[in-house]
Structure 1
């Protein structure tokens, strides 16, 4: 074991400079939660040549987040720098330059990534004026890192790189299936703005039998019925049955709040970015919905797969974001407003064909999700063993 401060040179603080087209500056917005950088939105700033020379990133450097974070994402994320060209990092971050005679950079990356993932970094954060900061000096002084030989470190890093790559590739396959589903929607129905197939237009109200709110009963850890809340709908338009609460409902009222397979659920209250999350309930188990959700049942003119895809399209998201109103910091779209949304009315036969294709894609996605779960478990197991010094 060795303290982190023994394995890195003195941290190099970041710089922000002034507006300009000088040097590329990496920010925490360029961090991912996978230990790598995202270069899609790199800013440029004017910084003096002297400071650039002192603080320029080198291949193999680690960049650690000093300020930021959230209640669900502790500050202290770390990423690996391995790019050509001149870059510095901003003042919310610091460069940790490994002492290569003691530690292999990629090995140290995985150890610090494990620190963050397993909650060690969280012990070194504090909150001032709404910003979460990392106590970097204390973190360096108190963090213990398992330190096998350099040769063993390289082998461990390679093994963890391979496990991470497997996990990432599986995630990419899921994204490709999602892109395929969006492409099929556009091929069959076109962009709703251009409506090149000249489908009739109307409102969602024309397509449904009912739109009902859920119950306001308080959720608990025990109860007769699983209780679906807004966090059980994903932004991408799918159900997430993790973190389920429970509720008791009198039998006489149950029909008002019970959902059945094929019902469309609409999240009517959330932040402006998340209001309008739309998913199809796909479980055979009886469940009850909370008051922040709307249960929609369709008539013979609509297939819920089509309406879900419509509302989850880029066009649909934009419509929902523009129409929602804020109530005490939360955005809201009520049942009447939902029913008044304009929507294409393609033939039901075409909607059904779309649903068949999407069902096949989702079946394949379920298989990939299982593979992703297994690759996540493998990576976590290897990280834990390496973190405990057992992966030798």
Structure 2
């Protein structure tokens, strides 16, 4: 690895657990929970909280920290904030010292080999956590600050290309929604030809199995607890249970019912056990509503679920709220036309997905070479 020295994390950075008590939290403070950090470092659904809303101790952080999710480290929830705020105590704020660049440290900790290493050292069967004392012993290659910045710039550029490709995905999804509104209108503003979701689909709320049945060795039924296992279209298996409770079927629409990601969707490509953070929605045979129609309609409602979920500080969408959702009453021919248009868009997405996979491979190669001094 050329002439770079290797140091322990604690020699160049501090795990900064500066706490703040609930009564000290001021209105308008930015709060970051694990649910607000996506795998790969993006933030989603960041909240400004009011005084008195949070009831437990939190950690404080600034734009100079690296936020490291210690719970289920395999999720790679590691991010560089551009703001100050407070975070869950399952997130460790790491403050880089003068010898290490923030983005360099973040990229190093996020590379697949380090995620695998952290996961192997986590303790706990169903809720594995990485101890701060273990994290601070991680070995880090340390080139000059100038070289660290150069590496971080290269990886940032590669990540930006991936982000642009993901933006194209989002735009194609927006096109689906526009076609839906053009053909069927907005169910929330219509009074005629509206029925309830429960008239055309069956809804199954998730039920978490016993924590003692969880494993990461692929034994039993794949378990989904929420959007952390969601992929672009179908879930990614990350944990399993030997005592499954509520099972979905192939083709079901998987719907997040709790927290900051309430309303997010995936489709079941196999049988999964559903934890209480999810519901399965299954179009009923014999109705005009098909899966494409229902998926796009529910995706259109995402903002509604974010603002109208039951619970003032923690969204928790009930079975009744799902059952009562208004949907357009459609005929088979119109639903089929819509489905055909969606299939065309999905083919375009498949082409972009292939390009994104190539960019992902390139990024992984750059990561591997970067920290070996080969860029």
Q: Is the 8 A contact 1:11 1:95 kept in 2?
A: yes
- SS of the counterpart of 1:120? helix
CA–CA separation in structure 1 for the residues paired with 2:63 and 2:266: 44
**Root mean square deviation of aligned Cα:** 4.9
- SS of the counterpart of 1:96? strand
The residue number in structure 2 matching 1:384 is 368
Structure 1 residues 375 and 18, CA gap change in structure 2 (3 angstroms): same
Structure 1 residues 14 and 175, CA gap change in structure 2 (3 angstroms): farther
Structure 1 residues 346 and 278, CA gap change in structure 2 (3 angstroms): farther
CA–CA separation in structure 2 for the residues paired with 1:78 and 1:237: 18
Q: Would you say 1:346 and 2:341 are equivalent positions?
A: no
- SS of the counterpart of 2:47? coil
Structure 1 residues 64 and 116, CA gap change in structure 2 (3 angstroms): farther
Q: Is the 8 A contact 2:29 2:48 kept in 1?
A: yes
CA–CA separation in structure 2 for the residues paired with 1:236 and 1:145: 31
Question: How far 1:95 sits from its partner (Å)?
Answer: 3.1
Q: Would you say 1:31 and 2:49 are equivalent positions?
A: no
Deviations 1:3-59 (CA, angstroms, capped at 9, x unpaired): 212222x4321323224426735433443322244572133669xxxxxxxx97454
The residue number in structure 1 matching 2:75 is 73
The residue number in structure 2 matching 1:217 is none
CA–CA separation in structure 2 for the residues paired with 1:65 and 1:242: 19
Question: How far 1:98 sits from its partner (Å)?
Answer: 1.9
- SS of the counterpart of 2:142? coil
Q: Is the 8 A contact 2:177 2:297 kept in 1?
A: no
The residue number in structure 1 matching 2:9 is 4
Q: Would you say 1:372 and 2:353 are equivalent positions?
A: no
CA–CA separation in structure 1 for the residues paired with 2:63 and 2:292: 48
CA–CA separation in structure 2 for the residues paired with 1:158 and 1:6: 24
Q: Would you say 1:14 and 2:18 are equivalent positions?
A: yes
CA–CA separation in structure 2 for the residues paired with 1:275 and 1:36: 18
The residue number in structure 2 matching 1:305 is 292
CA–CA separation in structure 2 for the residues paired with 1:13 and 1:119: 24
Q: Is the 8 A contact 2:100 2:145 kept in 1?
A: yes
Structure label with greater radius of gyration: 1
Work out which of the residue numbers 279, 297, 301 in structure 2 matches 1:314. Answer: 301
Question: How far 1:60 sits from its partner (Å)?
Answer: 3.2
- SS of the counterpart of 1:265? coil
The residue number in structure 2 matching 1:249 is none
Any unmatched runs of 5+ in structure 2? 1-5, 53-58, 202-220, 238-248, 275-279, 310-316
Question: How far 1:162 sits from its partner (Å)?
Answer: 0.7
Q: Is the 8 A contact 1:78 1:109 kept in 2?
A: yes
Any unmatched runs of 5+ in structure 1? 47-54, 209-227, 244-258, 282-287, 326-332
CA–CA separation in structure 2 for the residues paired with 1:289 and 1:39: 29
The residue number in structure 2 matching 1:143 is 138
- SS of the counterpart of 1:127? coil
The residue number in structure 2 matching 1:248 is none
Q: Is the 8 A contact 2:231 2:266 kept in 1?
A: yes
Work out which of the residue numbers 104, 109, 114 in structure 1 matches 2:111. Answer: 114
Q: Is the 8 A contact 1:7 1:103 kept in 2?
A: yes
1:120-139 alignment runs, 5 A limit: 120-127=117-124, 132-139=128-135
Work out which of the residue numbers 182, 185, 199 in structure 2 matches 1:190. Answer: 185
TM-score (norm 2): 0.63
CA–CA separation in structure 1 for the residues paired with 2:40 and 2:20: 24
- SS of the counterpart of 1:64? strand
Q: Is the 8 A contact 1:31 1:38 kept in 2?
A: yes
User: Would you say how many aligned residue pairs link Structure 1 and Structure 2?
Assistant: 311
Structure 1 residues 109 and 44, CA gap change in structure 2 (3 angstroms): farther
Q: Is the 8 A contact 1:126 1:132 kept in 2?
A: yes
